[in-house]
Amino acid sequence: MKFYKYHGAGNDFIIIENFSGEIKEEDKSILAKKLCHRRLGIGGDGLILAESSKIADLKMRIFNPDGTEAEMCGNGIRCLAKHVYDRDITGKKQLIETLAGIKEVEITKNHGKISYVKVNMGKPQFERDKIPAIGEGKLIRETIEGIEVSAVNTGVPHAVVFVNDIDDLNVEELGRKLRYSKIFPQGANVNFVQQIGEREFKIRTYERGVEKETLACGTGICASAAIAIAIGLANYGETLVFHAKGGDIYVEMQEEIYMTGPAEFIFWGEI
């Protein structure tokens, strides 16, 4: 089986082309657990399967290291877009089907090389039944487990916490506490954000399904941008930069969220 390894701002993925359906549905979760294992497999924050679609250029299926399937992944979709472009499967503008809907993706090039990938992430969902979260209305600045939390769905459920010092923070302990809070019936990714400039933020994320801090989370950065605007820390139409441990990602929110960031090929192999 041939695989391709990519990362988007340090968030790393195994990509396998499954256009002919060689990998059966019942095997996908088991395969993700095996291949994503850092010691006994290839190692990765997720397994992405590139599959055929009847309504878009291709379909993205993404499975976490624990075998659960995620609806969407911002860094992952950028890596997939670069992969299928480099392999001449698609052009620079792509429609990719995900469990969170069809996403518009555009490859940008500089001096003949791919520099960034831009994704229309769609409209953020603030209503609790769309996140999902227990209760009614929007979940903005509510105290959960003793922590002031906001929440939004940007393809997957996200909790967002603004802090004064992001470096002096036990992300895994606090993230796990909120991720398993009963207010989130399907769990949530948890983002800790510190504003360091007018349009500039630092971010660290505990990811559901990976069950630890990752170097970056694209949907989490989009969620954090949406909450920053909702609580008055930023404005619509501005380009916001988020510094994750693995690199920088840019977000602009109009009616929909546009995320721009890197996607890098690492290596390919057979297993």
Q: Which of 36, 73, 79, 222 is catalytic?
A: 73
Does 73 qualify as catalytic in the annotation? yes
User: 233, 141 in Cβ contact below 8 A?
Assistant: no
What per-residue string of b and e applies to 78-113 under the rule 16 or more CB within 10 Å gives b?
bbbbbbbbeeeebeeebebbbebeebbbbbeeeeee
- Rounded to whole angstroms, how far apart are CA atoms 34 and 263? 24
47-51 and 11-17 as β-strands: parallel, antiparallel, unpaired?
parallel
With a CB cutoff of 8 Å and minimum separation 6, the contacts of 150 are 139, 140, 141, 142, 159, 160, 161, 227, 230, 231
Annotated catalytic residue 79: no
For residue 231, what is the DSSP state? T
Burial (CB count within 10 angstroms: exposed 0-12, middle 13-18, buried 19+), residue 206: buried
Closest CA to 76 of 157, 12, 119, 152: 12
Catalytic position from the list 36, 79, 217, 222: 217
Alpha-carbon span 57 to 55, nearest angstrom: 7
Quick one: DSSP state of residue 68?
P
CA dist list (Å): 139 to 146, 148, 184, 222 = 15, 11, 11, 16
8 A C-beta contact, residue 74 and residue 89: no
Start-to-end Cα distance in the chain:
5
Q: Catalytic amino acids?
A: 73, 217
